[in-house]
Structure 1
Amino acid sequence: MSIRLTQYAHGGGCACKIPPGELEQIVSGLTGPSPTGGAAPPVANAELLVGLDGGDDAAVVRITGGTALVATADFFTPVVDDAYDWGRIAAANALSDVYAMGGTPVVAVNLLGWPRDVLPMELAAEVLRGGLEVARAAGCHVAGGHSVDDPEPKYGMAVTGVADPARLMRNDAGRPGLPLTLTKPLGIGVLNSRHKRTGEVFPQAVAAMTELNRDASAAALAAGATCATDVTGFGLLGHLHKLARASGVTARVDAAAVPYLEDARKALADGFVSGGSRRNLDWVRPHADLGTLHEDELLLLADAQTSGGLLIAGEVPGYPIIGELLPAQEGRTLTIR
């Protein structure tokens, strides 16, 4: 009998993230002065360029020699039943944070939680094999990692990359007049929800989740982009809200221009919406003019993605434009038409 990994976890993929509003409350006190008084101690030969303040995709530190180090970690519960594919997806998702900053991944370490008395260790080996193959395709070393005995299976990577500190893509660098480019279609969340509940396999979703954001990042840098983020668990609307808020602008989305994976609308119509997607929409609703769009359309725009594409402030050849950045409108980071 085949083992369905998604049945061993309460959530799946980036939809199992802590809700964005709760997460912001947790970290809200971590960006100011030390609780014991005074500033953080200086670090020799290192300067923090990107930290917690803007809620960006990764931390960036400038070191000697004109190099910036990009550091991130990402892991989640199974998003598909196939162990090898889950490993590939989780690795591509972890690497994406480095690409979103305009960096190149250099080395990764595995993060594995496994219910060793419940699931065969051979499946864990398949997860790690999938992660290794995607990292190799990205030209990124994998050097060990850490594992724990866990009631739920979890897998991901901590990744370190390098970037040019003068050519970073940050989520606080947007400015009015820039178009918004999206490099992967939406709909991964509803298709993954259907897969978890029915066992149906959607190759188009697996292909999208395992596609590296390397080429999209390189194209964005070549086009001169300085502002980007990736679209993952907080959905397009959630990540765009964070980008617009950090940049001090309002983002307008043309809903008709947003691309979706095949069968995504059918999965939505059949009720396969994760709780994470609903929480995403609830989070952005007070900050948005949602126009006259039907609730179902809004849920697709807020759909919790796993290993989604890049959202770039700027025109990038070969990828669709889905909106633009506008001057800030009081009390509103998003407007949908």
Structure 2
Amino acid sequence: MTPTTRQAPVRLTQFAHGGGCACKIPPGELEDVVSGLTPSGPATDSPLLVGLATGDDAAVVALPGQQGTAVVSTADFFTPVVDDPYDWGRIAAANALSDVYAMGGRPIVAVNLLAWPRDRLPFELAREVLRGGLDVATEAGCHVGGGHSVDDPEPKYGMAVTGLADPARLLRNDTGRAGLPLSLTKPLGLGVLNNRHKATGERFEQAIATMTALNRDASVAALAAGATCATDVTGFGLLGHLHKLARASGVSAVIDAAAVPLLEGAREAVRDGYVSGGTRRNLEWVAPYTDFGTTDADTRLLLADAQTSGGLLVAGEVPGAPVIGELVPLGAHSIVLR
């Protein structure tokens, strides 16, 4: 698909040091920060079903006296990933909702999180951001009940989302087992295309359509197929999130690099040098745990590409999603590329 150039009156991406989930704190640094931040005392009676221990996508708490119901809680926000404020709001909302879907839950209510440089950007743009978030939340059947805003030199937007799930039918990142195939529900390449957009103003409709697509149907399909293990692929890239899943589940993964779907234009963006620092940090982090085989340098970068509102990586077959590899017994590496 040929990129288009549709200049927004204000280029929001020029007000941010990074873009989308590429502005996340690097995974290795983040793990050092949160290490040990778990409640003291015995956990056997705790209603907290999923917390910090495995670095899963959201927290899950069982409701006392409500058998079969658990609360899923998450928050996600980031700097502008595209220049169009309405599209940025849609993308940020879809990304925040994705954490609930990645746990097998259903979002029910969200609140906005908005940081805005009020002396540098007009509030009309902020309204468009919030409108985009509201429209996607409405599509998801999720109420939006206000939120919180601060004056900030750099614009940021996202949502804190609360959902419901069946505690007996969660999707977790620590329940994978050897022999399960790995399915990926959205193509990769969002990070490099967004980075190209920030640098040149080119607009990639295929990237916007992918980022604004809800992971709702993929989550429902994964649960219907009997899956119990999944994660969404966002700022740490496919390799980073897969490493976390494999480590939490005590297995390794073999990936057929040629089977991984890519967005049109992604390879060209890597070839032309539009690779974020976040993507390079992702690759550096997973390198000690990965056998890259003969995989070329550009493909390695795409597999580590920092995605924004990416798809679900599911241990199991999901109708309509390509199988890109499988989980295998624990070996010398978390990930082996073929």
**1:285-327 C-alpha deviation (Å, 9 max, x unpaired):** 0011111111111000000000000000001111100000000
Deviation at 1:2, TM superposition (A): 1.3
**1:31-78 C-alpha deviation (Å, 9 max, x unpaired):** 263xxxx569x8xxx700000000000000000212110000000000
CA distance in 2, matches of 1:259, 1:32: 40
Q: Secondary structure at the match of 2:86?
A: helix
- 2:329 aligns with 327
Runs of at least 5 residues in structure 1 that lack an aligned partner in the other structure: none
- 1:29 aligns with 36
Residue of 317, 320, 324 corresponding to 1:318 = 320
| Residue 10 in structure 1 maps to residue 17 in structure 2 | yes
Q: Secondary structure at the match of 2:104?
A: coil
- 1:74 aligns with 76
Q: 1:8 to 1:51 in 2, by over 3 A?
A: same
- 1:152 aligns with 154
- 1:100 aligns with 102
- 1:204 aligns with 206
Deviation at 1:248, TM superposition (A): 0.2
CA distance in 2, matches of 1:39, 1:284: 32
Q: Secondary structure at the match of 1:116?
A: coil
CA distance in 1, matches of 2:290, 2:263: 25
Q: Secondary structure at the match of 1:304?
A: coil
Q: Secondary structure at the match of 1:299?
A: helix
Q: Secondary structure at the match of 1:57?
A: coil
CA distance in 1, matches of 2:248, 2:189: 26
CA distance in 1, matches of 2:79, 2:257: 30
**1:127-153 C-alpha deviation (Å, 9 max, x unpaired):** 000000000000000000000000000
| Residue 19 in structure 1 maps to residue 26 in structure 2 | yes
Residue of 129, 150, 157 corresponding to 1:127 = 129
Q: Secondary structure at the match of 1:61?
A: strand
Greater CA deviation, 76-85 or 64-73?
Answer: 64-73
Q: Secondary structure at the match of 2:245?
A: helix
- 1:285 aligns with 287
| Residue 114 in structure 1 maps to residue 116 in structure 2 | yes
Q: Tell me which amino acid in the other structure corresponds to 2:221.
A: A
| Residue 65 in structure 1 maps to residue 72 in structure 2 | no
CA distance in 1, matches of 2:252, 2:42: 33
CA distance in 1, matches of 2:186, 2:212: 11
Q: Tell me which amino acid in the other structure corresponds to 2:170.
A: L
1:178-197 correspondence to structure 2 within 5 Å:
178-197=180-199
**1:237-277 C-alpha deviation (Å, 9 max, x unpaired):** 00000000000000111000000001111111100000000
**1:176-232 C-alpha deviation (Å, 9 max, x unpaired):** 000000000000000000000000000000000000000000000000000000000
- 2:142 aligns with 140
CA distance in 1, matches of 2:299, 2:134: 37
- 2:217 aligns with 215
Deviation at 1:7, TM superposition (A): 0.1
- 2:257 aligns with 255
Instruction: Give me the TM-score of the superposition, normalised by structure 1.
Output: 0.96
CA distance in 2, matches of 1:259, 1:52: 30
- Residue identity over aligned pairs, in percent, reads 76
Q: Secondary structure at the match of 1:323?
A: strand
